């Protein structure tokens, strides 16, 4: 199939074929990253702007590296030192970047829908790098890639997502991608962060407040950080209480099947949602996720630029 979208704004609207194309393209770019010469000319002459209005380590750096590996020019926009601080609007910021011939704007923003908003009038490609509690598409895609690479399939797998589901854009992008490809998704955490109403979104979603049962049947356990920056009211009495009831410690990790994967999008709060011994243990693929993020982001930029899978020998 050919890629027909100008922007990547969410995972929810991607078809199974589009997800499959991103996975196969990312696989080819992962192979490129293992070569002595890691650069390809696919985006030569193009300009990629990282417009991050919220903090980021993994996403911003891997988009920067992805663009460089594709031979694009890269501009890292620092919101704190920009004219956004003087009241310039996001729309005017985009217009000015386009006046400088930006071809791609990678947007991270605290407002849900910010990327969709810019895409309404953008002439360049917009990539959503996380918008509020809505979606984080490339995180969902790199998680999908990691699971598929390790397990050889998505269909029929039991995936438990544990933690702050209510405020997590990572959870939403994971849920839509996994359901589209036929996985079963269990959402687990405190009832204040995992409301039962999530089950009404899709028949493939189950809500469980019982940690042991949610862990023991899982092929994959994906842990989420508590999103303090988005919570309007405290969802639990204290961090210590959350860690004691839902933190993945060695005892609880023992409930997980030995062949199951333990994932986390980062940043990790060690001792809160996960203990160090588990985060750094043999079932953890947390750093593999980061590695795969580069290949997935190269694939996304390549496809949005009109790249054909035949160029990659697929
Ligand atoms: N997973 C993730 O989005 O990490 P960053 O916030 O560091 O980009």
Closest of 111, 107, 145, 114 to residue 129, by C-alpha: 107
Q: Atom 3 (ligand 1): residue with closest C-alpha?
A: 59
More confident residue, 305 or 232: 305
The fold adopted by the segment(s) 16-136+292-312 is Rossmann fold (3.40.50)
Q: Which of 54, 56, 79, 263 to mutate to test the pocket of ligand 1 (most atoms within 8 A of CB)?
A: 56
Q: Do domains 16-136+292-312 and 137-290 have the same CATH topology?
A: yes
Say yes or no to pLDDT of 229 above 80.
no
Q: What value does the mean pLDDT of the chain take?
A: 95
CA end-to-end distance (rounded Å), the chain: 11
For residue 58, the CA-to-ligand 1 centroid distance in Å is 5
Cα–Cα distance between 78 and 93 in angstroms, integer? 12
Burial bucket for residue 206 (CB in 10 Å: 0-12, 13-18, 19+): middle
Q: Atom 6 (ligand 1): residue with closest C-alpha?
A: 56
Q: What's this model's pTM, rounded to 2 decimal places? A: 0.96
Q: Which residue has the tokens 């697929």?
A: 314
| Helix axes 58-69 and 16-33, enclosed angle (nearest 10) | 70
Q: Atom 4 (ligand 1): residue with closest C-alpha?
A: 58
Could you name the CATH architecture of 137-290? Answer: 3-Layer(aba) Sandwich (3.40)
Domain parsing of the chain, residue ranges: 16-136+292-312, 137-290
pLDDT tens sequence across 55-106: 999 999 999 999 999 999 999 998 999 999 999 999 999 999 999 999 999 9
Integer CA distances (angstroms), 59 to 107, 127, 176, 198, 289, in order: 10, 12, 20, 27, 11
Beta bridge partners of 214: none
Integer CA distances (angstroms), 188 to 79, 172, 213, 314, in order: 35, 14, 10, 38
């Amino acid at each position: 199939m050919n890629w027909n979208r100008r922007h990547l704004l969410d995972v929810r609207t991607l078809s199974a074929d589009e997800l499959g194309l991103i996975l196969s393209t990312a696989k080819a770019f992962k192979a490129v990253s293992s070569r002595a010469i890691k650069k390809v000319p696919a985006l030569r002459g193009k300009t990629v702007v990282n417009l991050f209005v919220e903090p980021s380590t993994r996403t911003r750096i891997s988009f920067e590296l992805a663009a460089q590996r594709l031979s694009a020019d890269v501009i890292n926009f620092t919101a704190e030192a920009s004219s956004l601080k003087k009241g310039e609007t996001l729309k005017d910021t985009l217009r000015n970047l386009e006046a400088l011939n930006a071809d791609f704007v990678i947007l991270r923003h605290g407002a849900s829908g910010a990327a969709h908003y810019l895409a309404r009038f953008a002439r360049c490609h917009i990539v959503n790098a996380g918008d509020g509690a809505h979606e984080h598409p490339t995180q969902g895609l790199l998680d999908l890639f990691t699971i598929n690479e390790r397990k050889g399939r998505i269909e029929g797998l039991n995936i438990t997502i544990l933690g702050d589901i209510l405020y997590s854009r990572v959870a939403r992008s994971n849920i839509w991608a996994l359901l589209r490809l036929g996985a079963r998704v269990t959402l687990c955490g405190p009832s204040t962060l995992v409301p039962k109403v999530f089950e009404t979104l899709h028949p493939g979603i189950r809500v469980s407040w019982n940690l042991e049962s949610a862990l023991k049947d899982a092929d994959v356990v994906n842990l989420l950080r508590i999103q303090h920056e988005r919570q309007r009211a405290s969802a639990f009495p204290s961090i210590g209480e959350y860690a004691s009831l839902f933190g993945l410690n060695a005892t609880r990790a023992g409930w997980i099947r030995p062949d199951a994967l333990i994932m986390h999008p980062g940043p990790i709060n060690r001792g809160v949602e996960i203990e160090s011994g588990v985060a750094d243990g043999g079932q953890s693929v947390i750093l593999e996720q980061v590695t795969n993020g580069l290949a997935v982001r190269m694939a996304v930029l390549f496809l949005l630029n009109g790249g054909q899978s035949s160029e990659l020998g697929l």
